[in-house]
Structures are given as C-alpha cells and as structure tokens.
C-alpha cells in the first residue's frame, strides 16, 4: 500500500472536514497530516476556494516527519547527533517527491554523489514511511513519530503566530516556486509569522544529484496535486 492508495478512503473525509472548517471557522489555520498529503492539501484548498474562504497563508501540509527522518538517518551515517544534522527536505510527502537537500548541510554535503552511501541514504529518507507501513503490516503507520512531527510543526506555527521572528521550517504550501510548471503546491523552507506563511524561500543552489531528484519529483507531484483538485471539481 502506498500513500496514494489512501486517496480513496481519505479524500472525502478531508473534503468534508475542510467544508466544516470553511463554514464554521473560516479563518482557522489548517495543518493537514492525512495522506496522501500531496493531494489532501489541494483538496482542502479547492474546497475552501469553492466556499470563497481560501487563504494560502493559513493552509499547511505537514512534511516535518521527512525532516525528522532525514536528521536521524544522516546522524546514523555520520555518527553526529540528530540535532546537529538539520536537513532541508523539499518537494512533497511521498517517495520520489521527497527531496532531501544534503548538499546544503555541513555534515551531509561531503556524502552527495558518494555512490551507494548517498543513494541508500536518500532512498531511506524517501521511503522511511513505507518501511514502517510495511513493518506494521496493516496495523497503521508511524503513529508516534507522526505525533512528534505534528507537535513539532504545530509548535513552530504557534511561535510564528505569536510574533517570534526567524521561525523557518519546510512545509507543503501553495507556492509560486514551480507554478509555471503546473506545480502550485510545494514544500520548501517557509518562514512562519503572525499571519501564518510569511515568506516562501527559494530552494537555493542544488547539486547535480539533487537536480535529478527534482526532475523525478515534479511530474509525480503535479499528478498528485491534479488528482486532489479533480476530486473536488
């Protein structure tokens, strides 16, 4: 089972919850963690748009678990503590759409392009969630680490809403970065502020290996986003 397989069950649940939020609390900040995040976030956006209350600054797909995994798996390779292994992870939240930018980290940059070690690390970051789902064999997903990631992101958002400056973390939002290629939702480093999304940061310089990961990411992400929008339309 992949995250995309969850679409049939979760799409209508997410749409109905978004409808209720749009009617009852249209200025709420909405953090979507239900899979497939690449499609459920566009479902919420389209549902709110239909109701005339969509504000892109208030809708977030929670991709924090990919960042948590990237730190942990990089720490296992380098021997450093996960706290020292902060990795920007961009794109979406499933398989090839998850793009870790190891070249932008002090401890990870020397691994980029280092054959099997790099390839295995990227694969584990991209498919860590699938690893857990397979291991639990029908009994759910990465429940506790998801709770940790959800709490971590909610805390970051609350700090931003409270006026703290410099709260920057990856999250899947309505984004102009790849809009010209038909990908209008994307996770990159986002500064969180008093209104929610304050500033969407560009990706910054990528290694050739990361350019290749982006080439695989964008078409899949586009399909996932279109599937979510088509469901609501």
Ligand X SMILES: O=C([O-])CC(=O)C(=O)O
What are residue 183's DSSP bridge partners?
Answer: 178
Question: Closer to ligand NAI at the Cβ: 60 or 118?
Answer: 60
Query: Is 29 annotated in the active site?
Result: no
**CA-closest candidate to residue 98, choices 140, 126, 127, 56:** 126
**CA-closest candidate to residue 191, choices 173, 166, 172, 155:** 166
Residue 137 structure tokens? 């064999």
Question: Closer to ligand NAI at the Cβ: 116 or 137?
Answer: 137
| Stretch 77-116 residues interacting with ligand NAI (CB under 6 A) | 93
| Stretch 44-83 residues interacting with ligand NAI (CB under 6 A) | 62, 65
Q: Which of 44, 85, 142, 177 binds ligand X (CB under 6 A)?
A: 142
Q: Is residue 170 a contact residue for ligand X (CB under 6 A)?
A: no
Q: Is residue 217 a contact residue for ligand NAI (CB under 6 A)?
A: no
DSSP code, position 139: S
DSSP code, position 180: G
41 vs 197: CA distance, rounded Å: 15
94 vs 92: CA distance, rounded Å: 6
Q: Is residue 35 a contact residue for ligand NAI (CB under 6 A)?
A: yes
- Whether residue 99 has a cis bond before it, omega within 30° of 0: no
Per the residue annotation, which of 29, 93, 174, 222 is the catalytic one?
93
19 vs 62: CA distance, rounded Å: 19
| Stretch 12-51 residues interacting with ligand X (CB under 6 A) | 35
Question: Closer to ligand NAI at the Cβ: 111 or 232?
Answer: 232
Compose the 130-169 pattern: x for residues touching ligand NAI by CB under 6 A, - for all others: ----------xxxx--x--x--------------------
Give the active site residues. 93
């Amino acid at each position: 089972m992949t995250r995309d397989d969850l679409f049939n069950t979760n799409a209508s649940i997410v749409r109905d919850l978004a409808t209720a939020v749009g009617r009852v609390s249209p200025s709420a900040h909405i953090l979507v963690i239900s899979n497939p995040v690449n499609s459920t976030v566009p479902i919420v956006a389209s549902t709110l748009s239909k109701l005339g209350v969509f504000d892109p600054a208030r809708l977030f797909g929670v991709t924090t678990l990919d960042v948590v995994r990237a730190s942990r798996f990089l720490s296992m390779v380098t021997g450093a503590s996960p706290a020292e292994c902060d990795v920007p992870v961009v794109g979406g939240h499933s398989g090839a759409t998850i793009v870790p930018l190891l070249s932008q980290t002090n401890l990870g940059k020397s691994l980029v392009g280092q054959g099997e070690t790099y390839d295995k690390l990227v694969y584990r970051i991209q498919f860590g969630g699938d690893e857990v789902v397979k291991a639990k064999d029908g009994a759910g997903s990465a429940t506790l680490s998801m709770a940790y990631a959800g709490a971590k992101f909610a805390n970051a958002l609350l700090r931003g809403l409270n006026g703290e400056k410099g709260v920057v973390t990856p999250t899947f939002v309505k984004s102009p970065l790849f809009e010209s290629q038909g990908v209008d939702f994307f996770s990159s480093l986002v500064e969180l502020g008093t209104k929610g999304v304050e500033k969407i940061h560009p990706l910054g310089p990528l290694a050739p290996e990361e350019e290749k990961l982006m080439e695989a990411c964008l078409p899949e992400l586009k399909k996932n986003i279109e599937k979510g929008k088509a469901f609501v339309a």
